[in-house]
Amino acid sequence: MAILGTALLLGGCPAPWPRPTPPNGASPTPAVPPPGEPGASANPPGAPPAPRPPLTPREHRFSPATRALVTQAQTLLARGDIDGASSTLDRALRIEPSNPLLWVELGRVRLVESDAHQAEACARKALALATGDRSTQAQAGRLLAAALKAQGRNPEAQAVEERPYMH
């Protein structure tokens, strides 16, 4: 008996619950309302899937915590405390590492530090993260162009400035 009980437990899924029988002999399948009526599905059973609506542009923003840190970093930078601004932005990036606006801010600090190579790296990271957000792409593009110019790579900077998201 114990073997039979174990076999039943391990043997598979239990039988499905019995479906309630509709009153008056009605069909057990639910009625599908005609298209356009409340409760109607965009895709009737068996129809191909409806096309998805186009993606809306994505706009990046700061969370309240990172907004406070960015404001603090900007204040520190204005006072000439580049190291303080840099470490404050590093803290913000630990909160939101995939926010391209933070990479733009850090890149601006790197330019002030005269570290154009790091500014370029920050700008490229921001561009990679800013897909679908033309405003953030333009900010990252301006940073990238400035970093390239600071390195004497003017033709590359000009090519960046001619990209569609820059206009």
- Is 39:33 a contact under the CB 8 Å cutoff? yes
How much is the average pLDDT of 68-96?
A: 97
- Is 133:57 a contact under the CB 8 Å cutoff? yes
- Following DSSP, what letter does each residue of 1-37 receive, concatenated? -HHHHHHHHHS-PPPPPPPPPPGGG--SSPPPPPTTS
Quick one: pLDDT at residue 120?
A: 98
Q: Exposed (0-12), middle (13-18) or buried (19+): which is 45, by Cβ within 10 Å?
A: exposed
Quick one: pLDDT at residue 5?
A: 43
Residue carrying the six token digits 């957000």:
133
3-class SS at 11?
A: coil
Whole-angstrom Cα Rg for the chain: 29
Quick one: pLDDT at residue 143?
A: 98
pTM value is 0.66
Tokens of 38: 């409340």
- Is 28:19 a contact under the CB 8 Å cutoff? yes
CA angle, 71 as apex, 68 and 73 as ends, to 5°? Answer: 110
Among residues 144, 152, 109, 108, the alpha carbon closest in space to that of 127 is found at 144
- Is 59:135 a contact under the CB 8 Å cutoff? yes
Quick one: pLDDT at residue 167?
A: 83
In CATH terms, the superfamily for domain 64-166 is Tetratricopeptide repeat domain (1.25.40.10)
- Is 57:135 a contact under the CB 8 Å cutoff? no
Quick one: pLDDT at residue 59?
A: 79
pLDDT at residue 158 tops 50:
yes
